[in-house]
Structure 1
Amino acid sequence: MESKRQKQVAKQIQKDLGEIFQREMKSQLEGAFVTITDVKVTPDLAIARVYLSFLLTKDKEGILQIIRENTKSIRTQLGERVRHQLRIVPNLQFFIDDTAEYAQKIDALFATIVIPPAEEETES
């Protein structure tokens, strides 16, 4: 169960990282549109796990690798934005959020299910 403070910090990090990816990192991401779908912060606020979704790219792993290589500069930019709200800027860990793809696969499976019509019971 996340505390109120963890939720507040996660929301602030999500907002600020979104702006960083849209403005400062745009040229490095090869035209990919990066969305921060979720941020989970540890109870001590030292680590933030950032879940990303990618649009307009086929190479999600490649873009994720670029982001991971630039984690230090991203954290620095985040620190400049949250320096008055947080005492310690959390270490950032980036992951691909595949929930949309998973939901799409489940929907496709449900679409292929054939349910035979129920037989009406006859009264004797």
Structure 2
Amino acid sequence: MNESNRQKKVAQIIQEDFAELFRKQAAESKQTFLVSVSDVKVTADLSIAKIYLSIFPAEYRKTIMKEILVNKASYRNYMGQKMGKQVRIIPELNFYLDTTLDDVEQIERELKGEGDNPIL
């Protein structure tokens, strides 16, 4: 099932707005961490947005994800202010941790023989 142009447009707006928000939050924080929005998928009826986040360094992941989930309502409110004119309903926001880069890194280590893969 292909995404409609409308879905892609809404997903892009969400991705850009959250990238900006997380960049500001990281800058205001005393810690050095990076939260990037790796992907956003929006359901066909635009009611749910799945937001995939990469968080570095890894030791901050649990804390940051917990904080994001606690603040879900205020993030949705933020999106309402940002995109209220463009959509009738503000999608429900679901956040997921994206570990794709970790997986790639692990595979690269294994291929170099640095992992503990018994086959190599």
TM-score, length basis structure 1: 0.82
For 2:79, the equivalent position in structure 1 comes to: 78
For 2:34, the equivalent position in structure 1 comes to: 33
User: Alignment identity in percent?
Assistant: 36
How many Å apart are 1:17 and its aligned residue? 1.1
| Alpha carbons 1:20, 1:77 under 8 Å: kept | no
**Aligned-partner Cα distance in 2 for 1:95–1:2:** 20
| Per-residue CA distance 1:44-79 (angstroms, 9 max, x = gap) | 100000000112451301110100000000110111
Q: Which runs of 5+ in 1 are unaligned?
A: 115-124
How many Å apart are 1:84 and its aligned residue? 1.1
Higher CA-based Rg = 1
For 1:4, the equivalent position in structure 2 comes to: 5
For 1:68, the equivalent position in structure 2 comes to: 69
How many Å apart are 1:111 and its aligned residue? 1.3
How many equivalent residue pairs? 113
**Aligned-partner Cα distance in 2 for 1:17–1:82:** 12
For 1:58, the equivalent position in structure 2 comes to: 59
Q: Which runs of 5+ in 2 are unaligned?
A: 114-118
In the alignment, residue 11 of structure 2 is paired with which amino acid?
A
| Alpha carbons 1:50, 1:92 under 8 Å: kept | yes
- Compare the two structures and name the one with the higher helix fraction: 2
| Alpha carbons 2:33, 2:60 under 8 Å: kept | no
CA distance 1:29–1:69, shift in 2 (3 Å): farther
**Aligned-partner Cα distance in 1 for 2:104–2:58:** 19
How many Å apart are 1:30 and its aligned residue? 4.8
For 2:20, the equivalent position in structure 1 comes to: 19
How many Å apart are 1:20 and its aligned residue? 1.8
Root-mean-square deviation (Å) = 1.9
